[in-house]
Structure 1
Amino acid sequence: MKVEDFDMFCTLLRQRSGLVLTKDKAYLLESRLMPVARKWNLKGLEDLAAVIRAKRDEALLRDVTEAMTTNESSFFRDTKPFDQFKAVVLPMLLQSRAAKKTIRIWSAACSSGQEAYSLAMLLNEEGARLAGWRIEIIGTDLSGEMVNKAKAGIYTQFEVQRGLPITLLVKYFKQVGDKWQITEDMRSRVQYREYNLLSDLSPLGQFDVIFCRNVLIYFDGPTKGKVLEAMAKQMPPDGVLYLGGAETVLGITEKFKPMEGQRGLYTLAGVPVRA
């Protein structure tokens, strides 16, 4: 791949999705963008780059961006965040939101929906504690293809075997051919929307809990800071932010601080919230 083409693709992806690629990731561009080139009846990445330069067709730019976004996810991924939610975050919210009886949760960069559905199942299992409560779960992703898959709630045998307890599979899924579909009731509990984290977040409204796990690792420092500060504006003083185990706010933003004793959980700086 020509250096100028690689640079052009990198600039395009950074502007549209925040994704930062280093030169050692050229192979990733080639493997993921070749199918896009073939879809548009182009011989290779050189032709793809030329077409983008000549005519910035939005449909083509969208295909390129979606092909490069990582869509790795699984049910109850890493386990601990969900244990923390059940044991720490939910009790705290039940106490502080007792008057309103409303909780809003955002699964940012939700991919094909496993995280949001995991939360829906977890909350349904807490049925007695949540009687009379209104729980909203919003899942957003840059990829329209992933959002549509999340809405359908259909997963392969491999996907449901990754992290999903057999008891929940039997209770919340039905077999459709060689795949599994989450029940209509669970699908109705999550609202999925196509949304770019680099866009204005205010139309999404305020959230008590934001899951943004294993997303910021693909962004450069300034972009991470921009996204985190935008999220801070969409949270109440005692809201909780989830980041991935390898992610941190230190040196990136002063809007958040780690929650004492809870790895991966963050609260707004200056607000005395304890687990």
Structure 2
Amino acid sequence: MALGIADFDQVRRVVRERSGIVLAERDAQEIETRLLPVAKANGSPTPEAFIARLRTLPALAAQLVEAVAAHSGGFTVDSPASDMLSGTILPALIMRRQSCRRLRIWCPACGGGQEPYSLALLIRERFPELSSWDVVIHASDPSAAQIAKANAGRYSGVEVLSGLPTPVLLKHFANVGGAWEIKDSARTLVRFNAATLIADWPPLEQMDIIFIRNVLVYFGLRTKRAVMERVRSALTPDGYLFGGSADARELLDERFERMQDEQSGFYQSV
């Protein structure tokens, strides 16, 4: 049974204030499922009891937001986006950055780290010439738990078998105690930090590529516009933006041009 109206409204208000995410009524059942283990961990028998405690213990709000906002995509070494990245975008950037030999990539809302690590694996596998370049993949997420998972770089067999070719897995991961731990060959390219897209950001480097796949869809219109302005300001004038199909309407304006392969989700700053 989904949360009641009053309880769900309380959850929506807290989540929107703290993360900018706008929950729809259809999310009530999913939110109840996500809150159940959090409630039990805090000594509350039900999600409703946990929500009631929020009124007297505001510190629990951080756990609420973590449970609601946490997401984790799979590894994507083999995908249309990876093909576009390795076949068109990175070769073009390598040509244009020969003088500085520097690349910066940013993955906001990186979840448990699979997306930025996928980029690191792609670079190591397909662009050995970049081993002498200054390459950094910045990755952020509002969930401290997800950032801890990403920094640990340890994944279950189910997680690594989704999207990772076996040769890549065996080359760049070590089996440690039944889990798969990413090796330094790819790990050293990625820098993780806990941050939300709506909070004050630390000073950002100019990014050559920004991945913002299926993130904007969770925000209200005003927040979407504010986030996109900040993302644009962090992108180099000739940089690339990657968005999922759910973000397409927000990404399509006169300052971005969709790449030829519509399945890839890439846009170039113009």
Cross-structure match for 2:256: 257
- TM superposition score normalised by structure 2: 0.91
Structure 1: 5+ residue stretches without partners: none
Moved over 6 A (4+): none
- Give how far 1:33 is off: 1.2
Alignment: residue pair count = 266
Q: 1:256 to 1:66 in 2, by over 3 A?
A: farther
- Give how far 1:205 is off: 2.6
8 Å CA contact 2:77, 2:119 repeated in 1: no
**1:126-176, CA deviations, whole angstroms, 9 ceiling, x for partnerless residues?**
344325311001111111111111111111111111010011011111111
Cross-structure match for 2:16: 14
Separation (CA, whole Å) in 1 of partners of 2:12 and 2:37: 18
8 Å CA contact 2:259, 2:268 repeated in 1: no
Cross-structure match for 1:222: 222
Residue 211 of structure 1 aligns to which amino acid in structure 2? F
Separation (CA, whole Å) in 1 of partners of 2:252 and 2:53: 38
Report whether the alignment pairs 1:81 with 2:81: yes
Q: 1:160 to 1:122 in 2, by over 3 A?
A: same
Separation (CA, whole Å) in 1 of partners of 2:266 and 2:63: 34
8 Å CA contact 2:7, 2:48 repeated in 1: yes
Separation (CA, whole Å) in 1 of partners of 2:185 and 2:122: 14
Report whether the alignment pairs 1:54 with 2:49: no
Q: 1:254 to 1:210 in 2, by over 3 A?
A: same
Cross-structure match for 1:45: 47
- Give how far 1:6 is off: 1.2
**1:58-96, CA deviations, whole angstroms, 9 ceiling, x for partnerless residues?**
xx1111011112413111177011111111111111122
8 Å CA contact 1:207, 1:239 repeated in 2: yes
Cross-structure match for 1:267: 268
- SS of aligned partner of 1:233: helix
Select the structure that is richer in helix. Answer: 2
Structure 2: 5+ residue stretches without partners: none
8 Å CA contact 1:142, 1:195 repeated in 2: yes
